[in-house]
Every structure is written in C-alpha cells, then in structure tokens.
Amino acid sequence: MRRGTVCEEAGEVRGSAWEEAGEVRRGLTVGVLGVMEVAVDGRPVPLTTGKLRTLLVVLAMSASATVSMKRLAEAVWSDAQPRYSRRCLQIYAARLREALGREWIETRQDGLLLRAAPDAVDALRFERTLDRAAAERGSPRERELIQQALELWRGQPFEGVSSRWLEEIQAPRLTERHLTALERRAELDILAGRASDTVPELSEQVTRHPLRESLCLRLLVALDRCGRQAEALRWYGRIRAAIARELGVEPNRDLRRAHADLLAGRPLDPPGAPATGQGRWGHRPGQYGLNRSNLFGRPSR
C-alpha cells in the first residue's frame, strides 16, 4: 500500500450456512496451524480480504489481551504503513465485527482486543498443551499431551496470511516447537519399543529439514532399532551430502559417531541415554527454518 492513501477497500465478508456434523465448538475459533480457518459456533466464516485475515490472526495470537495500534499497524503493513493506519485499522475492525459478531472485537484506549479464550486459537492451545507436557516429563501423561498438541498441526503456520511479523517471528518459533515435540515423541516411542512406528514421520520430516541434525539422528536410531542398518547408512549419505552442500561442513559429532557405530555393527544409543560431550541429541541453533525438501529424495526401499 502506498503511504498517503486512506486505506484499501476492506472488502466483503461472506458467511456460510455450513455446520459441522456432530458436536460443535461454541463461540469463536481461529485456526492458524495450516490454512487459516475461522468459525463461529461451528459455522465457517470466510474472510475475503487479506488485511482482514492478517488483523484477525494478529489479534488471535494475543487472545484476551489488548494489542496496541502501533503493533497492529506494524504486523499488518510492516514498513509500508498508510498515513492513516489507525483509521484503516478501525475500518477493518468494523468489518470483522460484521463478519464475526460485534461481541468478539473490543476497542480499547490504544488498541484492540479479541474476546476469545486462548484455547479457541489452535496455535495457543498447541503451545499450552506442550507446556503441560513439559511439566509431565517422564510420566505416562507426557506422550499423550504431546500427541494432542501434534494433532493440532495441519501444515505451515499462517498459510495464506501475509505479515512479515508472522512469517519471520511467529512461524519459525511455532515450527521449532513442533519439531522439538516430534523429536520428543520419537524418543518416547523408541524407548517404548515402537521404533518402526516413528520411521515414516521421521523420514518425512528429515526430507523437509535435512539440516536439523537432532532430527536426522533420531531417524538413524529408529532405523537401527528396526534392524534396517543399510537404510540408515543410505540416509546418512544423503544427510551428509545436504549438510556439505548447504553449509560446507561435515555432520556434527553425534551423527558421525552414529555413522561409525552403524559401520561397525554397534547398536546406536537409545533416546534418553546419558549425554556425552556436547549431547547425543543436540542440534545447531537456527536449523528449524531451513526447509530443503528438494535436496534429496527418500531412500529406495
């Protein structure tokens, strides 16, 4: 948007008569862990304008808390804010009230508030559930809570919503938590003797994130525990090639040790084994955002 204009047309909002069969979640729900989904009392509410979607998502990520007009303007327009950004935000808020119902968007002295419980937003429920799992670490409840959180994940966060703040700050943070949860679930399943159950998911995620060495290590361990050492060695070759091509270095010490153990026919340390050196399950900071799904294919069966 060019600075100096009032603001773009807020757009039409169309409702839907569709209602999900079975039990309907009452009130407003916002889904952002994948393609954006908005519903009121179970009825989808399509938002046809990008700025409306962005504004609602930014408010949803702080559900039940006031978000300042300054923060909203930065999230909605980044560096291309219109001269009358506050007025534009007020117009968009009015359009959201028309779409959702007036009770959901509240104007405060210097901002807006979405009157929805945090659990009504899948990203917030995802994080709260993982926090509960962390508090239950080592108990039978931990794996159940991790599974509940992972079931909320439908795809790339904020898909179809344009905002630098969401793309550069919120999406990487959520992706990191998602991958960490996947790794922890894999650890628990391998320890419980269900290594074969983890291989399909780990293979898919390593294909997407071949530079995340902690994830790669878990795949090698899972394959080893299934007696698929040859396949683990093929995966290591692909992982090593991807790391060398993208970073110009060798895999970390944990992966190199796992490779040596595979070649020597030694069983790999199970997840949760006491850490040695820099840690069996460590990964380089910042690797979560490097999606290189085209770097290598899946190993042949």
> What does the pLDDT look like over 44-66, one tens digit per residue?
999 988 999 999 999 999 999 99
What are the tens digits of pLDDT across the range 263-274?
999 999 875 555
Give the Cα separation of 173 and 110 in Å (integer).
27
pLDDT in tens, 85-125: 899 999 999 999 999 999 999 999 889 999 999 999 999 99
Handedness of CA 163, 166, 172, 174 (dihedral sign): negative
Determine the CATH number of domain 193-289: 1.25.40.10
- Mean of all residue pLDDT scores within the chain: 85
DSSP assignment of 275-291 equals: P-TT-TT---TTGGG--
Looking at residue 141, its pLDDT comes to: 97
Rounded Cα distance between 178 and 260, Å, is 30
The angle at the Cα of 223, spanning 215 to 148, to the nearest 5 degrees, equals: 55
In tens, the pLDDT along 165-223 reads 999 999 999 999 999 999 999 999 999 999 999 999 999 999 999 999 999 999 999 99
Would you list the domain boundaries of the chain? 1-162, 193-289
Nearest Cα to Cα of residue 150 among 167, 174, 173, 168: 174
CATH number given to 1-162: 1.10.10.10
Q: Are 261 and 225 in contact (CB under 8 A)?
A: no
pLDDT of amino acid 181: 98
Query: Which residues are paired to 43 by β-bridges?
Result: 40
What pLDDT, on the 0 to 100 scale, is given for residue 26?
Answer: 76
Helix (H) or strand (E) holding 85: helix 85-100
Q: What is the CA radius of gyration of the chain?
A: 23
